[in-house]
Structure 1
Amino acid sequence: MSLLLLYKALHVFFMVAWFAGIFYLPRLFVYHAETSSADCDATFKVMERRLLYFVTPFALLTLVFGVLLIIAYGKAWFAASSWLHIKLLLVLLLYVYHGWCFKLLADFKHNRNQHSSRFYRIFNELPVLLLLAIILLAILKPPLY
């Protein structure tokens, strides 16, 4: 078994685990924004915090194995892979999104949420669209420039 294939398998595994959480967390935010019950509010705060802290290591390990893949493929491959440059920009947006989730979590924690459940429903769709574009780029590898 080659290291390259191991890196690729672990990169995909941790990405799937990360996305399981990153898809569910904003859904919790939707329900949290809709609740007026103090008991439910407290429960959502715990669930959101635990979920975000649970999936964050998966986000970091996705990054680690992605970087190892780039190193394993080499500089010439990286320079010639224009699709990868676009993919990396989209991945950067996902990490910004992930960081934004920490800010939203803090807002709920301190009872400062200013967003409606509709906002969170739309917010919930952003990683879906980014993931679709990233997968299309990674599988199709279109020559972009």
Structure 2
Amino acid sequence: MLWVKAFHIVFVASWFAGLFYLPRIFVNLAMVAPGSVAERERLVLMARKLLRFTTMLAVPAVALGLWLWLGYGIGRGPGNGWLHAKLAVVLLVIGYHHACAVLLRKLVAETSRRSHVWFRWFNEVPVLLLLVAVVLVVVKPF
């Protein structure tokens, strides 16, 4: 079980690293001057590769978490409301990941009307989600 936990932590940390950096690329894409085709294409390529890589990290992170929850029974029983709260945060992170994919499609199609300032704020969401998840796991307030 400790190996499963260790790999879960590594994949989650790597997944979040990608979710921290991907919106930063969106900020740069939103700031590209009209006519800078090479710069735009380079940023789009970086964003696509990073999204693909973070998706490949998210799958084992979620699978190992499910294994710990369902297979080992971690978080079952009374006094484990923290796990349900953590699972809600996980669903929010998955939704954020999906939102990144949708935003990338819009940026590639040049249909996004979001400013670089909006993307800077969007970039802060995974920090808050990670903070809440860590507090829920370490402190277990429920």
Shift of 1:112: 1.1
Structure 2 match to 1:7: 4
Shift of 1:38: 1.7
Structure 2 unmatched ranges of 5 or more: none
Structure 2 match to 1:49: 48
Structure 1 match to 2:76: 78
Question: Is the aligned partner of 1:33 residue 2:30?
Answer: yes
* Deviations 1:52-104 (CA, angstroms, capped at 9, x unpaired): 001101111110000011124327x4243101101110110000000011101
Q: 3-state SS of the aligned residue for 2:53?
A: helix
How many percent identity over aligned positions? 40
Structure 2 length normalisation: TM-score? Answer: 0.93
Q: 3-state SS of the aligned residue for 1:78?
A: coil
Structure 2 CA distance, aligned partners of 1:78 and 1:29?
39
Over the aligned positions, Cα root-mean-square deviation in angstroms equals 1.2
Structure 1 length normalisation: TM-score? Answer: 0.91
Question: Is the aligned partner of 1:94 residue 2:93?
Answer: yes
Structure 2 CA distance, aligned partners of 1:124 and 1:44?
16
Structure 1 CA distance, aligned partners of 2:23 and 2:73?
37
Name segments (4+ residues, structure 1) moved above 4 Å: none
Question: Is the aligned partner of 1:113 residue 2:124?
Answer: no
Shift of 1:141: 1.1
More helix by share: 1
Structure 1 CA distance, aligned partners of 2:108 and 2:77?
44
Shift of 1:6: 1.1
Count, aligned residues: 139
